[in-house]
Amino acid sequence: MGSALVTGATSGIGLEFAWELAAERNDLVLVARNEKRLATVAENIRQVANVQVEVLPADLATESGARAVAERVSAEERPIGLLINNAGFGLGQEFIGGSLERELEALDAMVRAVLITSHAATQTMVGRGYGAILNVASIASWSLNGTYSAHKAWVRTFTEGLAASLKGTGVSATALCPGLVRTEFHERAHIDADAWFRFAFSSPRTVARIGLDACRKGQPIVTPTLLYKAAELGLRLAPRPVVTLVAGPNVTKLAGAPQ
């Protein structure tokens, strides 16, 4: 398959992608901002799984960071057979009254960088006749939780459309739409994860495994766990005023909502 490149590989779902892929004897390229943490994760994986692990420190909210990852995706040497666009974060602010800089950072990291790296991957992989792209969206792509929902809706729509365009090329695209997952996400976004029932959380390993499985099958979209499959169905079928009421911005403000 070639190597797998995972963004946001030092924590949560991305870290589990890295371990799962290494356990299946895939070489890896790991991307995140914190260089020290990247080096530690890479060394642990090398020692335990005995695979080659490159690190690529990059801030995907910057043009240079996204381009550096795209360049690695396009490289002929040690070709990338699987691109996982996983890096992402909750904004930790409301749109009204929030910082525009933070909004642009989120848009650049979760939309622009996904576009740039997916573009590089499709050009290169279609030329080779094989490869896969796995983009991490969210159940929030069906809700109305501010610009985070909008970014994840973009990832989901873009990836499903890309999957259809790629038919017959030997390359696949999959959108992964998890519900709540127990990671550093909520703490980083200043969200109180204890506001939800414990059973509402999936483990990052479960989510990563389901995502990789769907990717192997070439599924255009997958929502892990029965709970969130049901939530997705409800959000898709409910009239918009109902969605606004049960999964709109006010719900986030009062009690927190799935990001």
Interface with ligand NAP includes 143 (CB under 6 A)?
A: no
Residues 6+ apart with CB under 8 A from 120: 70, 71, 73, 74
For the record, the structure tokens of 188 come out as 């980083």
Which string of DSSP letters, residue by residue, matches 45-57? HHHHH---EEEEE
Interface with ligand NAP includes 175 (CB under 6 A)?
A: no
Catalytic residues: 148
Q: Which one of 180, 215, 222, 231 is in contact with ligand NAP (CB under 6 A)?
A: 180
Q: Which one of 18, 22, 49, 61 is in contact with ligand NAP (CB under 6 A)?
A: 61
Nearer to ligand NAP, 51 or 181 (CB): 181
Interface with ligand NAP includes 86 (CB under 6 A)?
A: yes
Which residue, 50, 56, 51, is CA-closest to 9?
56
Interface with ligand NAP includes 181 (CB under 6 A)?
A: yes
Q: Which one of 28, 60, 173, 215 is in contact with ligand NAP (CB under 6 A)?
A: 60
Alpha helices in the chain, H assignment, sequence order: 12-23, 35-49, 63-74, 100-107, 113-128, 146-165, 185-188, 204-217, 226-237, 240-247, 249-255
Interface with ligand NAP includes 188 (CB under 6 A)?
A: yes
Which residue, 180, 179, 162, 177, is CA-closest to 218?
162
Select from 28-36, 44-52, 116-124, 230-238 the region that touches ligand NAP (CB under 6 A): 28-36
Select from 92-100, 125-133, 184-192, 230-238 the region that touches ligand NAP (CB under 6 A): 184-192
Interface with ligand NAP includes 14 (CB under 6 A)?
A: yes
What residues numbered 101-140 form the site for ligand NAP, per CB under 6 A?
Answer: 109, 136, 138
CA 252-202-186 angle, to 5 degrees, is: 40
Which residue, 136, 131, 138, is CA-closest to 166?
131
- Give least dist CB 127 to ligand NAP, A: 26
Measured distance CA(126)–CA(141) in Å, rounded: 28
Residues within the interface to ligand NAP (CB under 6 A): 7-14, 32-34, 37, 58-61, 86-89, 109, 136, 138, 178, 180-181, 183-185, 188, 204, 259
